[in-house]
Amino acid sequence: MKTLNLFLVAVLVSACAHAQSTGIFRGNDLQETTLSESLSKVTPGSIILVGENHGLPEHQRQQLQIMQGLRDLGHVVSVGMEFFTYIDQSHVDAYRAGGLGEADFLKAINWGKPSFELYKGQTLFARASEGAKTVALNAPRGLTGKVSKGGLPALSEQERALLPPQFSLGRDSYKKRFLEQMPHLPNPEAGERYFAAQSIWDDTMAWRATDYILAHPEQVLVVVVGEFHTRFGGGLGDRIRARSPQTPVITFSQVNTTDLSETELQSEITPHQEYGVRADYLWLEPAKSPAPWSGA
């Protein structure tokens, strides 16, 4: 029945294919909407996942528009960042508070200035609201790097202590989709290791995000993260719901339409017969100004 329903949606979508390649559309029926309308039903205690293609200034601008739109509606907006590991939270706090200069901050977190310039606005956005915070979400890089090479058994007892509580791997459909993106793996064991590392990223970010919003239910947490983590809900969104079923989660997928034909665009945004709806909202816009990427 689910497959049939998605097929019918796909037929309806193709029958009213959009000639334009910009704007915000609902993910389930691809009807055009507005930013204010898409944010109008957000309630305190919600987590908003904004999936991006890394290094595109247009996407960073859209993220700030989402944050500002929520603030204009009266929400206290905190920001969760994939690009900062949770063990660096003290450095993030010190930088936001003005106690750590930018050069020292970037040195402490091992980040390059060109890439950080794209995310400086998001990092400092919460500074303007009392009680809001920039939350470092991700797992330590050394942890996921070691798992990618040796699998979970390679972790020491001290390293295992850095994993999120009740850590678990992502669901099978997410694993299938993840491995489809990696067609040239040397062997199946490598795929298992890489997926374990991906699951650590997702589950760590979910742990940090849910812990924060449950402790601050009067706020809204906007999470800036790579688009694959949010697409079709199997990654970060799935892990958040597993940890906190009562927390509302809304997803935005930022779709770069540059050089996409109408057929390619429809393939990108039409609900998938197996994986479902790509996101609650799709923000379509050409992004023609990619910046050098040297971030996390």
Question: What tens digit of pLDDT does each residue of 114-144 get?
Answer: 788 889 999 999 988 889 999 999 999 899 9
User: To the nearest whole number, what is the mean pLDDT of the chain?
Assistant: 89
Q: What is the pLDDT of residues 196-219, one digit of tens each?
A: 999 999 999 999 999 999 999 999
| Residue from 79, 88, 94 nearest 129 by CA | 79
Give the contacts of 87 (CB within 8 A, at least 6 positions apart): 136, 140, 162
Q: Give domain status of residue 295, yes or no.
A: no
Q: Give domain status of residue 102, yes or no.
A: yes
Residue 184 has pLDDT above 90, yes or no: no
**Mean pLDDT of all residues in 147-169:** 95
pTM above 0.85, yes or no: yes
Q: Give domain status of residue 174, yes or no.
A: yes
Any idea what the CATH number is for the domain that residue 159 is in? 3.40.50.11550
**Predicted local confidence at residue 172, as pLDDT:** 93
Q: Give domain status of residue 181, yes or no.
A: yes
Q: Give domain status of residue 27, yes or no.
A: yes
Three-state secondary structure readout of the chain: CHHHHHHHHHHHHHHCCCCCCCEEEECCCCCEECHHHHHCCCCCCCEEEEEECCCCHHHHHHHHHHHHHHHHCCCEEEEEEEEEEHHHHHHHHHHHHCCCCHHHHHHHHCCCHHHHHHHHHHHHHHHHCCCCCEEEEECCHHHHHHHHHHCHHHCCHHHHCCCCCCCCCCCHHHHHHHHHCCCCCCCHHHHHHHHHHHHHHHHHHHHHHHHHHHHCCCEEEEEEEEHHHCHHHCCHHHHHHHHCCCCCEEEEEEEECCCCCHHHHHHHHCCECCCECCCCEEEEECCCCCCCCCCC
**Predicted local confidence at residue 170, as pLDDT:** 93
* Number of domains present in the structure of the chain: 1
Q: What is the pLDDT of residues 272-285, one digit of tens each?
A: 888 889 999 999 99
Residue 150 has pLDDT above 80, yes or no: yes
Q: Give domain status of residue 230, yes or no.
A: yes
Residue 1 has pLDDT above 90, yes or no: no
- Alpha carbons 235 and 209: distance in angstroms, whole number: 14
Q: Give domain status of residue 296, yes or no.
A: no
- Answer whether 131's CB lies under 8 Å from 221's CB: no
Q: Give domain status of residue 164, yes or no.
A: yes
What is the residue range of 218's domain?
Answer: 2-285
Calculate what percentage of the chain has a pLDDT beyond 70: 91
Q: What is the pLDDT of residues 21-36, one digit of tens each?
A: 789 999 999 999 999 9
Bridge partner list, 51: 225, 253
| Residue from 47, 207, 54, 240 nearest 139 by CA | 207
